[in-house]
Amino acid sequence: MTDKNKALLIVLALFCTYFIWGSTYLAIRFGIESFPPFLMAGLRFTVAGVILFIVMRFLGSPNPTRKEWLGAIAIGILLPALGNGTVCYVQQTVSSSMAALSIATAPIWMAIFSSIWGHHITRKEWLGIAIGLSGIVLLNVGGSLHGDVASAMLLILAAACWSFGSVWSKHLAMPSGLMAPATQMLAGGATLMLVSGLQGEVWPETISHKSWGAMLFLVVLGSLVAYSAYQYLLKTVRPLVATSNTFVNPVIAFTVGIWFANEHVDTNEYIALAIILLGVFLVLTAGNNDPAKEINH
């Protein structure tokens, strides 16, 4: 594949993680109006994982080895289960916009964890991370999360788990191609279903059309499309570029939350958003501006 084609795939993958995942926070909010949080997340990833696994086997992908399954299970627990499942749980009390803003700490954790494995973080990247972190601090001091320490800590834990799993996945045996996200989603979905059972969650008596629509969106676009795109980015570009969606997602979450759910955003939160956007700009421009040259060699 030529660098031009790779650059196009990178741009398309970034588009998916920016815009689709930015919208999933609102979809999660609509979903948990009917479904318990862990059951909803478990169903989302289990169904998506089964579909993608069957399709890849039909297309000729080999069945993963025992070592590859172990790697996929580890990442499935860290990303879909601990990363996304925690967000679903917290969104019972926190708006979709605030959840997306808090998850923007992920690039900070990504930088720390990738440095452990030898990735060099440039000064400009560190500056962008520091600015982004200051926006998160402002959000927690003067925004909607003020005083809600438990929710704030859980969201930071989710971001840390997601980031550690993202970096660690590059050093684990993993199935090739789209079989990797398929097995990871299967493992994460099964873990979430187990947690759902342990929490005593039950199938809802009534499910609104809105919640069914949200579930369909999360399975098809949020999981099959965007999660697969994210796995491609992890293997292809710098770690901080791959996770830059966590800076941009709040913009999308703010927009769809205000338009479709009448969520309220105050002045402090707009200021925090602007600071975070400055941080992502610095992170994304720290390397060469040509996307084809952002490829890991």
Dihedral sign computed on CA atoms, order 159, 163, 165, 166? positive
pLDDT digits (tens, 9 = 90+) for 165-174: 998 998 999 9
Residue found under tokens 């594949």: 1
Position 144 scores a pLDDT of 54
pLDDT digits (tens, 9 = 90+) for 68-122: 999 999 999 999 999 999 999 999 988 777 777 667 777 778 777 887 887 777 8
What is the enclosing helix (H) or strand (E) of 46? Answer: helix 37-58
How many domains in the chain?
1
Position 70 scores a pLDDT of 98
- Rounded to an integer, what distance in angstroms lies between the CA atom of residue 58 and that of residue 250? 37
pLDDT digits (tens, 9 = 90+) for 232-269: 998 888 777 887 787 778 778 878 877 877 777 677 77
Task: Give this prediction's pTM.
Answer: 0.86
Average pLDDT of the chain to the nearest whole number: 86
Assign 263 to helix, strand or coil: coil
Q: Where are the alpha helices (DSSP H) in 218-265?
A: 226-236, 239-242, 245-261
Q: If pLDDT is split at 50, 70 and 90, which confidence band does 140 have?
A: low
- Rounded to an integer, what distance in angstroms lies between the CA atom of residue 104 and that of residue 96? 13
Domain that holds residue 205: 3-294
pLDDT digits (tens, 9 = 90+) for 23-68: 999 999 999 999 999 999 999 999 999 999 999 999 999 999 999 9
First to last CA, the chain: 14
Dihedral sign computed on CA atoms, order 199, 203, 208, 213? positive
Position 10 scores a pLDDT of 93
Q: Looking at the predicted structure, is the pLDDT value of residue 292 above 50?
A: no
**Residue 203 burial (CB < 10 Å; 0-12/13-18/19+)?**
exposed
